[in-house]
Amino acid sequence: MEPTPTPGRPVRGSATGRPVMAALDLLGRRWTLRAIWELHRHATPIGFRDLQRRCDDMSSSVLSTRLTELREADIATQTPDGAWQLTPLGEDLVTAMGPLLDWSRVWAERRG
Amino acid sequence: MEPTPTPGRPVRGSATGRPVMAALDLLGRRWTLRAIWELHRHATPIGFRDLQRRCDDMSSSVLSTRLTELREADIATQTPDGAWQLTPLGEDLVTAMGPLLDWSRVWAERRG
DNA sequence: CCTTGCGCTTCGATTTCAGAAGCGCAAGAG
DNA sequence: CTCTTGCGCTTCTGAAATCGAAGCGCAAGG
């Protein structure tokens, strides 16, 4: 499996290891942003299968991979009983995504 | 080829067609954010091969696909002589990505 | 026991991406 | 004119990422 993108190390699409490139690599993998979004929406720790259902029944193999990446990146974490939730850093990420969500609504309007 | 994600139509990873999901599908494809970023950085219209070089010599086939998607999404456009640049909507998108870039720096610091 | 649901993991099929090659065109050199 | 150079892609084949059904080990309930 590809290593989890980490700032300071070369990543997919950039040899420099600049933080933004590592972030774009990590977040650009399929289902990653969606999983983060669903973790945020649920607000309390959530189990694997429950999270999977909320992500339109995405493949369990990919979900498992994504959660491992998010844990290694300090964006998500597991409670002692195994349920998943965002870390403070993960919540900050969701906040940082806010303007992007606003933009997507404008985008939708201008193309409707 | 997969159709370009459009708000209001089902997309990869979501059957609802909600704008944010269409945006995440489009932006989550490999090299998409990087291409947008490089178009923004260059500030003036830029040719295909030049853009390719600035994207770490990404595959021309994928770049061509991405640019077509961005054009259909009204994020990028071509000048009469074929050079590429962001639309106003595309520039708004870059602005909306700002907080995400800030976050990536914080992320880099906390894991350094 | 036996069933149900859980958190994953495994594995073959499908989709996407990488990267080298090449096509048609246009501009400049000789 | 011919020859070369560079451009904007397109095509093609192999590699990588993803899908999705199946299943494993465990724990709780009947």
User: Which tens digit of pLDDT belongs to each residue from B66-110?
Assistant: 999 999 999 999 999 999 999 999 999 999 989 988 998 899 888
Q: In this structure, what DSSP letter does residue B80 have?
A: T
B53 CB neighbours strand D below 7 A: no
Angle at B11 between CA B5 and CA B12, to 5 degrees: 110
CA distance A91 to chain B (A): 11
Crossing angle of the two packed helices B32-42 and B88-111, in degrees rounded to 10: 110
Question: Which positions in chain B touch A56 (Cβ < 8 Å)?
Answer: 13-15
Among the partner residues B31, B105, B110, nearest to A13 by beta-carbon distance: B31
pLDDT digits 0-9 by tens, A49-105: 999 999 989 999 999 999 999 999 999 999 999 999 999 999 999 999 899 889 989
Question: Which positions in chain B touch A93 (Cβ < 8 Å)?
Answer: 100, 103, 107
Nearest CA in chain B to A52: B13
The predicted model scores a pTM of: 0.84
Residue B85 sits at φ, ψ, to 5 deg, of -155, 165
B61 CB neighbours strand C below 7 A: yes
